Amino acid sequence: MAVKLYLGEGTLGGINFYSTSSDDVSDDAQVLARLFATHAAIALGHAQEREAFKEGLQTRKTIGAAIGILMERYEMNEDRAFAFLVRASSHTNIKLRAVAQELVSEANTK
C-alpha cells in the first residue's frame, strides 16, 4: 500500500507499506497508514520550514557583513551599500546572497 505525504501546498513524497503475510489490506491498516502519513508530512513540513528559516538567518547575516564591509571600505551609508550589492547582483545575474558571500569570503582571506 502506498500513501502520499502531502500538506496544503503539495506532495512531499510517499510511504510504501509492505506485508510479508498477506496481500489484503484491512480497512484499519488503511486508516492507520493515512494517520501515520499525516503525522510524517507535518514533521517533514516543519523540518523544511526550520531549514529555510536557518538559511534565511545565515543569508541575512552574510548580507549584513557585506554591507558593513562596503560601508567601511567605500565610506558609504547602509542604504547605498545595500543598493551597491543589489546592482552588482543584477548586473552579474548572480544571486544577492552569493555576491555578498564572495565579498565576505574575500575580506576573510586578507
Whether residue 106 has pLDDT greater than 90: yes
Residue 7, pLDDT score? 85
Which domains, and CATH codes, for the chain? 2-109 (1.10.10.10)
Taking residue 17's Cβ as centre, other Cβ atoms within 10 Å add up to 14
Residue 9, pLDDT score? 78
Per-residue pLDDT band for 13 (boundaries 50, 70, 90) equals very high
Whether residue 10 has pLDDT greater than 90: no
The pTM for the full model equals: 0.69
pLDDT digits (tens, 9 = 90+) for 29-40: 999 999 999 999
| Stretch 60-89: mean pLDDT | 97
E-assigned strand segments in the chain: 2-7, 10-16
Residue 8, pLDDT score? 82
Q: Residue 32 and residue 61: Cα distance in Å, rounded?
A: 44
pLDDT digits (tens, 9 = 90+) for 21-74: 888 999 999 999 999 999 999 999 999 999 999 999 999 999 999 999 999 999
